[in-house]
Amino acid sequence: MLPVEECSVRVLFLASEMAPYAKTGGLGDVIGALPGQLRAEGIETWVLQPYYGKPELQYLRYLGSFTPPYTERQGELWCLPAEPHTLFLREPGFYERGGIYQDPFGQDWPDNAQRYAYLNRMGVELAQGRIPFLPGRMDLLHAHDWQAGLAPYLLDLEGRIGAPRPATLLSIHNLAYQGRFSPELLASLHLPLADFHPGGIELYGSFSFLKAGLVYADALSTVSPRYAQEIQTEAFGMGLDGLLRTRHADLTGILNGIDDTRWNPRGDPYLVAHYDEHDLAGKARCKSALQSLLGLYPDPEVLVLGLISRLVEQKGIDLVLQLAPELLRERIQLILLGSGEAQYQDQARQLAHLHPGQMAVHIGFDESLAHRIEAGIDAFLMPSRFEPCGLNQMFSLRYGSPPIVHATGGLADTVVDVDQDVRAGNGFAFAPAGIDGLRDAIHRALRHFQHREHWQELQRRGMQGDYGWQRAAREYVALYRKLLSGA
């Protein structure tokens, strides 16, 4: 047999979303970018995701139908003609709804356990090479977040009876989402009650998809080195820190990348002017255009702060809104783009109403506006209480908009405080999370901004960083080969 490093490695990505077809956060961005980069590194990478209605079926190619074991539903498998390794699982009753995980009122779909158990069952059949119109067995199944957490467990069950199976890796994109359901569902999902105990799939009386993956996957990864350390502590472990400490030897932190072809101020089609670290003149034009677009006072000397985020407590939006009236008394403008909890949406709208010309709020998501904000602001706010990786701070660095962040998770791995390291600094960081630290970091940014040459050095340093996927892909390749060498 050839050594693993000389063999073609076949990997199945199992995930609930993939940009641009389905996305609620960073998970969709990762699945949209990483498989392609892995293919460039020589890994035969397949992706299986639910079909939520995009792209339209006329743009897909039908492959066949298959009914996984222990289910009564025949699922259709489709692919992108130009990307035959990107597969969509179509089961209209399960996935083609008005929201991916929640209904239009923000409530979880009551059958999420059944929906994603079905995805996991189909993923296992594909990984084992048992779908007749698809290729043979995969070498490795790479599961992502709780929605794919059952697959490593199901493959472990097969291994217990002596069946060959692929190696398994579970990536944790956000430990806060654990896929917890009533244990009464175990029987209908055809899962053995014998594993419902604290050392198995039980999590404080509930049955957890994520816990199943954490216990039974051969290896675990997170989306930044710092987050891999943090989740082994009580403060960030979300009740799973004890388990993660016992698996610390199997846990690797690999920092996400960004699509630096789509997020690149040199040629971004959404911008009124292009620029790079050698010529920042276009950024000033982007700032003026953004102020005009959003009805802000056209002042080139004011510090424009931007925030693009889910409006939830984890992201520190409450700190920003609490501090906003104080900030807007200074030479500062504030832009918010995002959606989330109604109380924060209403509070943001009210503040914008009270401060016309100084604060702009757009509830929802707008891809074009997100790019224009990244280019047109002076600094980016990201005061997350915890952040597994974060992508917006890397977008901001790429666009010459130094980030202001709470030093946690991937934010700590990517943003170096300029007041702590003048030579390597690319932004502003504070700790612990809280309004005093955020206020101080913003005031420090305002002081630096008033010294234009120094600010431009800070911008250029951030723009010169390597934030693409090639580095991360190579780290995953090394992890895959390590896993398979020891399989």
Q: Cα(378)–Cα(392) distance, rounded to whole angstroms?
A: 14
Pairing of strands 202-203, 206-208: antiparallel
Cα 12-139-482 angle, rounded to 5 deg: 105
Instruction: Write out the two tokens for 368.
Output: 């074009």
Could you count the other beta carbons within 10 Å of the beta carbon of residue 452?
Answer: 10
Computed on alpha carbons and rounded to an integer, the radius of gyration of the chain in Å comes to 23
Q: Is 54 annotated as a binding residue?
A: no
CA distance 46 to 39: 9
Token pair in block for residue 89: 């699982």
Task: Please answer whether residues 75 and 64 qualify as being in contact, where contact means their C-beta atoms are separated by less than 8 angstroms.
Answer: no
From the list 236, 184, 190, 186, the residue with the least C-alpha distance to 70 is 190
Q: Please name which of 119, 134, 15, 10 lies closest in space to residue 68, comparing C-alpha atoms.
A: 119
Residue 191 burial (CB < 10 Å; 0-12/13-18/19+)? buried
Closest CA to 383 of 300, 295, 317, 304: 317
- Let me know how many helices (H) and strands (E) the chain has, helices first: 17, 18
Strand boundaries in 15-58, DSSP class E: 44-50
Contact 419, 441 (CB under 8 A): no
Burial of 62 from C-beta contacts in 10 A (0-12 / 13-18 / 19+):
exposed
Pairing of strands 83-90, 140-144: unpaired
A 10 A CB-CB count for 468 gives 19
Q: Which of helix, strand or coil describes residue 216? A: helix
| Token pair of 137 as six digits | 């067995």
Q: What's 8's DSSP letter?
A: P
Nearest to 172 by CA among 56, 254, 96: 254
Q: Which residues contact 347 (CB under 8 A, 6 or more apart)?
A: 321
Q: Please give the Cα distance from 116 to 120 (Å, whole number).
A: 6
For residue 103, the SS3 value is: coil
Q: Per the structure block, which two tokens stand in for 472?
A: 């991360």
Which residue positions form the known binding site for ADP-alpha-D-glucose?
A: 23
